[in-house]
Each structure stands twice: as C-alpha cells, then as structure tokens.
Amino acid sequence: MINLESGKVSNCVIITGMSGAGKSATLNILEDQGLFAIDNIPPSLLPQLLNVLSRHRSAVQNGVVAVVDIRGGDLLSDLVSVQENLREQLTSVKVIFLDASDEILVRRFSETRRNHPLGQDVPILEGIRRERNLLSPVLESADIVLDTSDLPLKILRQKLIEQLSDTSGKSALLFTSFGFKFGVPQDCDFIIDVRFLPNPHYIPALRQFSGKDPSVQEYIRSFPETRGFLERFIELLDYIVPIYGNTGKPQLHFALGCTGGRHRSVAVAEWLGEYFNSPDFQCVVRHRDIERDQVF
C-alpha cells in the first residue's frame, strides 16, 4: 500500500509536437492507461505540479502525462531545460514528439475548421512551417518520434503502449514492412530497401498470397542473394543492437520496404522477427501495407 504522505511521482511522459498531429488522442490513450493527464501546461510549472501530485494516488502509482506545445507561446522554449532537470529527479522521463506531413496537417485543420494556434491571421500552411521551425530544438531532444500521417488510432495506441512499456532490460526490436509506393515510415531508425530481392508478384501462382505464406517465403528464399542478404544483415544486427543498447537506446525500429509492402518486405520482417524472438529481445513485427490495394 502506498503511503501518500511520502509518495513521489517517479514517471513523467511529456507529449509535444505539431498541432493536428494527434496530441489530444495520445493524451487520452495514456490517461486510459492510468496516468494522471494534464493538457497545455507551461513547461516551467511542470516540476512544481509533480510535487503537488505527490499526494495523488494515480499520479504516484502510474505517473503523469502532460501535453506541452506551441499554445504556450514563448514558454515552450523552457521545455528542453525542464526535461533535463526532470531526468535528474525522476526515475523515468519520456518525451513523445508527434508529427505528420504538411499535407495531412492542412487536411486535418480544414476538416475541423480550426485556426492554427499561431494566430487567425496566419494561413494554415504558413503556421505549420513556422511551428516546425519553433519546435526543431524539441524534436532533437525527443525520446520517441511518431509520424501519425497514416496511423489509425488502434495502431497509435499499440505503438504507445509498446514504446512506453517496461522492457525489463531487454533490447526492443521493431520490424515494420512497408511499400515504397505508399511512402516511407517517418518514425524508424533504419530503412532497408529489399526491392533487389526476387518479386513473387510476377509469379501468377504466388501473387495472391502475402509474404507470410510459406510458398511465397520458399520462393524468395530459394535465391542465393536472399540467403546471402539475410546472413549478412543478421550478422550486422547481432553486432550493433547490443552497442545501441549500451548507449542508452534500448529500442531500434527497422523499416523494411519493397514496392507494394505485401511480399518481399513482409517475408524478411517475418524471418527477422523469428530469428530475434528470444529471451534476450522484445521483438515486434508489423506489416503496414500488407492489406493495401495491390493494383499496379
């Protein structure tokens, strides 16, 4: 049982990023996970509020999640220094930066018929560009960057829970397959182009299946260049993943791309997920475009 007289908030998640990128949705998701939620707080007031919340059971047990963004005006410039001070005081401090393409942000503002926070006299696109410039120091200091341009709410929730969960010292590896024709994921650490591998799309008997199907995997892996690539790439990962972990980056996100995101990238992601599925790693495999329209 927690003694609220001596309790202390030890976990703080700061949500920031572009207006229209999903900060409110992210705040709601994390509040549903039990965190005490705060919207639009000046960064300099956050340490004081955490002290006040030391008598709040949910905040002490689960932590605090706060949105800090451009609505705070010049006060936002304090965020980088505030988060550095909080890291010295708390057990866990995570900064989530939410982003989306300019096109998507303009569309979302148009759909909601809201003005940009930088002012009614500022055109939406110009406001987005100014906001990107103002947020660039915050982006550089973020722990997690999520691009929500093409991210359903269900997947956003899954990503947040995965990336904020306790990995118990394990290295977390995320392998995402995607199709270049649908755009490159913006929240990955490495992009691996596997379009040089033989394409089952041009085999009529295989075209209807995905890279998760054994017949498709058998076809792709029957070529020496596939086996040579896997052998060398896995050797590279075996070498660099522990090094990244030792530098304080326990999570690595690899995006594996082919043309449509249905065959080659899916098969490679499945193979890598199978190889790294061990007690030493927390491994997640996602297939972003596997169900997309495959008409070329």
* 8 or 214, which is more confident: 214
| pLDDT tens-digit series, residues 67-91 | 988 777 766 777 888 888 888 888 8
Q: Residue 166 — pLDDT band, cuts 50, 70, 90?
A: low
The C-alpha atoms of residue 223 and residue 240 are separated, in whole angstroms, by: 26
> Contact, 30 vs 13, CB < 8 A?
yes
Give the Å distances, CA to CA, from 287 to 106, 125, 130, 177, 263.
Answer: 27, 32, 34, 5, 10
Q: What is the mean pLDDT of residues 22-44?
A: 87
Q: How far apart are the first and last CA of the chain?
A: 60
> Contact, 163 vs 273, CB < 8 A?
no
Check residue 28 and report its DSSP letter: H
| pLDDT tens-digit series, residues 103-142 | 898 888 888 777 787 777 778 888 888 888 888 888 888 8
The C-alpha atoms of residue 103 and residue 84 are separated, in whole angstroms, by: 33
The pLDDT value recorded for residue 144 is: 87
The pLDDT value recorded for residue 294 is: 52
What pTM was computed for the model?
Answer: 0.56
Domains of the chain, start order: 11-164 (3.40.50.300), 171-287 (no CATH)
